[in-house]
Amino acid sequence: MASIRRTLSPLYQDRSYHIGVASAQAHKLFSTNNNSGKYSSLTSTSAVSAAFVYIRRKGFRRSFYRCMIFFILGLLLGVFPSGHVDNEINKHDFSFEMKPPHVNVQLDTKGNFALSAVSLGVEKTTPQLDRLSRFDYVERKQVIVITPTYNRALQAYFLNRLGQVLRLVQPPLLWIVVEMTSASAETAEILRKTGVMYRHLVCVNKNNTNVKDRGVHQRNAGLEHIERHRLDGIVYFADDDNVYSLELFESLRNISRFGTWPVAMLAQSKNKAILEGPVCNASQVIGWHTNEKSKKLRRFHVDMSGFAFNSTILWDPRRWKRPFSNPIRQLDTVKEGFQETTFIEQVVEDESQMESVPPSCSRILNWHLHLDAHGLVYPRGWLLQKNLEVVQLIR
C-alpha cells in the first residue's frame, strides 16, 4: 500500500505550483499517519525537490531577462554613438559641388542641332595631407664647432659668450671644446649650463707652453675625434675670444665642400681695422684681401675663423677624389700666420673648389678683435676668495 500511495502522489503529477502550496499539500497528505517514519521522510524530500525545481526555473528567467536588457542597451549605444565625430575630414576630403550641366550644342552639315558630351558637374577633390608639414620639420646639416681654450683671466667670459650664441643656433649643433693636459671642472660646469650639445676633450701628451703650438694641437685633437667617430657635418674652428653673429652659423649649412668669407679684425697696433678673406663674385672666389706685406707669400689669405669645410673630407677621401689619404691636420712646424693656408691646401686644390659665404661676401659675419687681457691675474675657479675692500671717503 505504501508503494501505491507513493505512485499516485499528487507531488509527481503537477509541478507547476509554488513552494508554499507544494509543502502544504504534502504535509496534508502524509500527516494522517504520524506513527510511520517512512511517510515523514517522504514528505520532507518531496518538498525540497520541488523547491529546487522552482529556483532553477526562476533563475533561468532572471538571467534571460538580464541578457535581453544588456543586448538592447548595447544596440542603442551602437546606433546612436556619443563620441565626437570629426567633420573636418568629411568637408575637405570630398566635396561634391552641383553645377548646371555643360551642354555643347553644335550645328551639323544639314542644319540640325547636335549635342556633344554632357558633363554632370560633379567634382571630387582629394587634397594631399603631408604629416611632416604639421610639425614644421626641416632637415638641416649638423654644424661641428671646434673651440680650443686655456686657463686665463677672461676664459669664463669668453666661453659663456660663445655658448650663449651657440645656444640660439638651430639644432643639430655639436660643440667640441678642447683643453690642454687636463679637463678643468670649471670649464665642464660652464658647458653643462649652456644647454648646448658638447664634447669636452683633452689634448694629452702635449705640454707645449707656446700659444701657437697649443692651439694647433688642440684643433688637431678635435679633428682626430671627428675622423675616428666619422661625424657628419660642417666643421668650423671658432676661437672663444672672437665675436660671431648668429647668421654665420646658419649660413654654414649651405656649404657643400669648402666655404670661406671675409673676417674683420683689429690690427696689432689696435688703431685700425683690417679685412682679411676672399674677394667674391656671386658664389665664386676670385681674389683675396690682405694688408700685411709679410703675408703676401701665403697661398690663401684667410683667418682661422674665416672658413669651414665638410667633415667627410677627413674620413671619406674617395668621395672627394683626394689624391692622397694622409690625415688632414694643422702643422706646428710652419711659421705663425701660415697654419691656415697650409691646412686649406690639404682640403682643396684651388679657388674653384671654394664657395663664398654669404653670396658675393656681402656681409661681415664675425670679428677678430684681440681683446684678451694678458696682465690680469687668473683667479682659481674664477672665484675671488676675499671680498674687495671698500674705502669710504669722508669729506
How many C-beta atoms lie closer than 10 Å to residue 155's C-beta? 21
The number of CA neighbours under 13 Å toward the Cβ of 390 is 3
Q: Where are the beta strands (DSSP E) in 82-237?
A: 102-107, 113-119, 143-148, 173-180, 198-203, 234-237
Task: Give the angle subtended at the CA of 202 by the CAs of 196 and 203, to the nearest 5°.
Answer: 135
CA separation for the pair 104, 51 (Å, rounded): 88
CA distance 79 to 89: 21
241 is in an annotated binding site: yes
CA dist., res. 242 & res. 366, Å (int): 7
Distance CA 69, CA 94 (A): 40
Per the CB < 8 A criterion, the answer to whether 264 and 365 are in contact is no
**Rounded CA separation 266/273 (Å):** 5
- Catalytic annotation present for 345: no
Whole-angstrom Cα distance, residue 330 to residue 205? 17
Place of cell 660663445: 162
Active-site entry in 88, 224, 247, 340: 340
Are the C-beta atoms of residues 290 and 277 closer than 8 Å to each other? no
Q: Three cell numbers at 250? A: 646658419
CB 307 within 8 A of CB 278: no
Annotated binding site: 241
Active site residues: 340
